[in-house]
Amino acid sequence: MRVYFSIFRIKTAESFQYRLAALSGSVTSFVWAVIEVAAFTVFFQYAENAGFAGGLTLAQTVSHVWVRELLLFMQPYGIDGDLIEKLRNGDVGVELCRPLDLYWHWYSRTAAGKIVVFIMRCLTCFLAAFLLPGGYGASLPVSLAGFLLFLPAVLCAFLLCCSFLMLMTAVRTNIQWGDGPMYLLGLMGGVLSGGYLPLQLWPDFMQTFLLFQPFAGICDIPARLYIGSMQSSEAWLGMTVQLFWLVVFIALGRMVMARRLKSVIIQGG
């Protein structure tokens, strides 16, 4: 465990050098979120059920947008670029020579990259949202109990996201498959996590499926606890869903990686 923590710490320190890129990303996220808030405001004002849609009020939807920007670092958009390069040029052979479990080695690297994005980009954007006027900016958690439940839900979401990215990495280990499956998995995860539209604004007949599918735990469940659309008494259900899919993704990731490493291509052989 000391080795994996050291890898996590080194990768984190290395990633902090990209400060300008993080600042530009934070500004981009902030502007895009303001545009979304404006669009939702128009929608709620002129819709037939004005002021209330899909179980959410306008204020809750606006808060959901900003919480999503806070959790943007956990969106499964792609795997570590260094790992992709190792797979492409055959340097994965060097990784296999290390006296470490390759899965947890790469899991540590992936987690470190996500933490840096959170500190340098997402947290900055979220704090800046409190400076916006009422109705457009971020708001405080609906209750102290909701906030205290939001924190462990974020931790579970973080571990769940990293385990899903490791599954994507395991799929990408077979170089013959190319990047296509990886992009499809990332897009599917982003949509079903609520990264594009709050899941509670989807059709009513899909709500049970959306709550229990694996990607809701990455963004939507923590956001529901923050804005109060999921009661504190229901938090155990949300975190149970998160932990269940965490175990499933870890098991699948390790199984796929073990199978792919038996036939991985290293320097053409």
pLDDT tens-digit profile of 195-248? Answer: 888 888 888 888 899 999 999 998 899 999 998 888 877 888 889 999 999 999
Q: What is the CA radius of gyration of the chain?
A: 20
pLDDT tens-digit profile of 171-185? Answer: 877 655 566 777 787
Distance CA 259, CA 266 (A): 15
Residue pointed to by tokens 């990293």:
162
pTM: 0.84
pLDDT (0 to 100) of residue 251: 95
Q: Which residues have C-beta within 8 Å of that of residue 249, sequence separation ≥ 6? A: 160, 163, 164, 166, 167, 214
Q: Give phi and psi for 146, each to the nearest 5.
A: -65, -40
Q: Specify the DSSP class assigned to residue 142.
A: S
Distance CA 12, CA 69 (A): 21
Is the per-residue pLDDT at 150 higher than 80? yes
